[in-house]
Amino acid sequence: MNTKTKTALLHDRNPATENPAAEDFKPIELTPTLRLAAKLEREASGRAFGAEPSSRERILDAAEALFGVDGPDVVSLRDISALSGAATGLIHYHFPAKESLLEEVVARRATIVSEIRRAELARLGDNPTVPALLDAFVRPLVELADGPDRGWASYCRLISLIASSDARGALIAKHLDETAKLYVAALKKSAPAADETDVLYGFGFTVILMANTIVKNQRLQTMSDGKVQTADITGVYLRMMDYCVAGMNALIAAKG
C-alpha dist (Å) from residue 99 to 6, 66, 75, 95, 125: 21, 14, 12, 9, 39
Residue range 200-210: mean pLDDT, rounded: 95
- Contact of 157 with 215, CB cutoff 8 Å: yes
User: End of a domain among 70, 96, 122?
Assistant: 96
User: End of a domain among 96, 127, 161?
Assistant: 96
Q: Which of 26, 20, 126, 11 is nearest to 61 (CA)?
A: 11
CA distance 142 to 164: 19
Q: What percent of the chain has pLDDT over 70?
A: 87
Question: Kind and range of the H or E element at 14?
Answer: none
Burial of residue 181, with CB atoms counted within 10 A of its CB: 0-12 exposed, 13-18 middle, 19 or more buried = exposed
Burial of residue 96, with CB atoms counted within 10 A of its CB: 0-12 exposed, 13-18 middle, 19 or more buried = exposed
Q: Report yes or no on 75 lying in a domain.
A: yes
Q: Report yes or no on 22 lying in a domain.
A: no
Structural domain boundaries, residue 125: 107-256
CA distance 207 to 82: 34
Specify the 3-state DSSP secondary structure of 223: helix
The CATH number linked to 181 is 1.10.357.10
pLDDT at residue 241 greater than cutoff 90: yes
Residue range 66-90: mean pLDDT, rounded: 96
Q: Report yes or no on 167 lying in a domain.
A: yes
Residue range 56-69: mean pLDDT, rounded: 96
Q: Report yes or no on 34 lying in a domain.
A: no
Output 189 or 6, whichever has higher pLDDT.
189
pLDDT at residue 25 greater than cutoff 50: no
Q: Residue 146: CA atoms inside 13 Å, Cβ hemisphere, count?
A: 21
Q: Tell me, what DSSP letter sits at residue 16?
A: G
Q: Report yes or no on 83 lying in a domain.
A: yes
pLDDT at residue 30 greater than cutoff 80: no
Residue range 64-86: mean pLDDT, rounded: 96
- Reported as a pLDDT band with limits 50, 70 and 90, residue 8 is low
